[in-house]
Amino acid sequence: MENLYTCICPVPTSLVGIGGRIRLSSLLCLMQDAASVHASQLGLGFHDLYPQNKTFLLSRTELEICAPLPCWGDGVRLQTWPRGVERLIAYRDYELSLEGASAPFLKASTAWLMIDTVQRRPIRPQEFFVGITPRNICALSEEAPRKLAWKEGLELFETRPARPSDLDINSHVNNTRYIDWICDCVARSHGLEAGISSLCINYQGEIHPWEQVRIHLGEGPDGRIHIQGEGERRNFCASLSLSPSA
């Protein structure tokens, strides 16, 4: 049996932004929810692991947007699957398409770390995947999601606090909020209509309540935009490209 989870997600008004299209962070919320459901079906969900002092934390995400994002009222067909385990990393890939369409509008690959919640250290997840058959299909490439290097010399763009509305069940800023912060920077620096065509983000450190995060921005010689967040420690770094119309 193919190890593939599929669901149909309607797009309500609460998930859309400018132009009536779904926010990128909302799509990542749907992806996170689907991963949680599928992990539970495989015996690796939050309620399976937490009593064992284990949990998964998202380490990296890389995505490509292949077509316009869905609008309010559309249905999103989301497919996700575990791609395998390598050393400390468990990989999970995604394809999202409009309901009834054959080609995806978004493809993504994610890397997850299993954490010992007492020692707050990564552990090898291989023993937990015994009996789980990975689906050896790459949504993007075997290299995705890439590990990004921290860039020095980027200009300070803004400083923002981690507010309670940014926090999740673990009392730190949820990974999807990082995407909102990045989209805010893009809108402020390139205009409200600027759209992202590809994004790679590495999550490097937790952000705690009221922590002041300094967000730096710069553009590389290849035209890609680099955005990094740093508070008490390095929190995240991202590399993205804008759609041609931006």
Full-model pTM: 0.94
Q: Is the pLDDT of residue 1 over 60?
A: no
Lowest mean pLDDT among 108-112, 141-145, 167-171: 167-171
Query: What's the pLDDT tens digit per position in 170-204?
Result: 888 999 999 999 999 999 999 988 999 999 999 99
CATH 3.10.129.10 assigned to domain 155-242? The reply is yes
Say yes or no to pLDDT of 246 above 60.
no
Q: CATH number of the domain at 5-129, please?
A: 3.10.129.10
pLDDT tens-place string over residues 215-243:
999 999 899 999 999 999 999 999 999 99
With both helix axes pointing from N to C terminus, report the angle between 24-41 and 175-190 in degrees, rounded to the nearest 10: 160
Confidence tier at 245 by pLDDT (50, 70, 90): low
**Closest Cα partner for 157 from 242, 212, 232, 227?**
227
Domain ranges of the chain: 5-129, 155-242
User: Has residue 2 got a pLDDT over 80?
Assistant: no
Which phi and psi angles does 118 have, rounded to 5°? -85, -50
The mean pLDDT value for 141-145 works out to: 94
So what's the pLDDT on residue 169?
Answer: 85
Cα–Cα dist 54/44, whole Å: 10
Per-residue pLDDT at 199: 98
pLDDT-based confidence at 10, cuts 50/70/90?
very high
